[in-house]
């Protein structure tokens, strides 16, 4: 009986505190600049990741053309592809 009461009490509370928090008016410019900066850095990171993935795929396919370099080139192609997929999605 006691465990059921504890379970019911836990189920009524949210798992995390994900509600929308209001920003005070004086701090709003700092908040806006912070959001803009985080957006620009996130976008730049995605672009760098995509370029690096394409570059690794190009280098890997160039190395994989020779039979001797295939054990190194094929993993480079796979890693470059995974970086490109991560950048796109």
Instruction: Judge if pTM exceeds 0.85.
Output: no
**Could you report the per-residue pLDDT of 21-35, keeping only the tens digit for each?**
788 888 999 999 999
Q: What is the domain range of residue 53?
A: 44-89
Examine residue 37 and state whether it is found in any structural domain, yes or no: no
**Could you report the per-residue pLDDT of 43-53, keeping only the tens digit for each?**
999 999 999 99
Examine residue 85 and state whether it is found in any structural domain, yes or no: yes
Number of domains in the chain: 1
Examine residue 51 and state whether it is found in any structural domain, yes or no: yes
Question: Which pLDDT does position 9 carry in this prediction?
Answer: 56
Examine residue 36 and state whether it is found in any structural domain, yes or no: no
* Cα angle value 66/67/72 (rounded, 5°): 85
Placement of tokens 């890693």 in the chain? 79
Examine residue 77 and state whether it is found in any structural domain, yes or no: yes
């Amino acid at each position: 009986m006691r465990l059921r009461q504890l379970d019911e009490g836990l189920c009524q509370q949210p798992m995390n505190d994900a509600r929308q928090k209001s920003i005070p008016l004086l701090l709003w410019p700092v908040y806006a600049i912070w959001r803009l900066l985080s957006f620009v850095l996130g976008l730049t990171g995605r672009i760098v990741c995509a370029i690096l993935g394409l570059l690794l795929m190009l280098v890997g396919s160039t190395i994989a053309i020779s039979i001797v370099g295939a054990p190194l080139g094929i993993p480079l192609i796979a890693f470059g592809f995974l970086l490109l997929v991560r950048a796109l999605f």
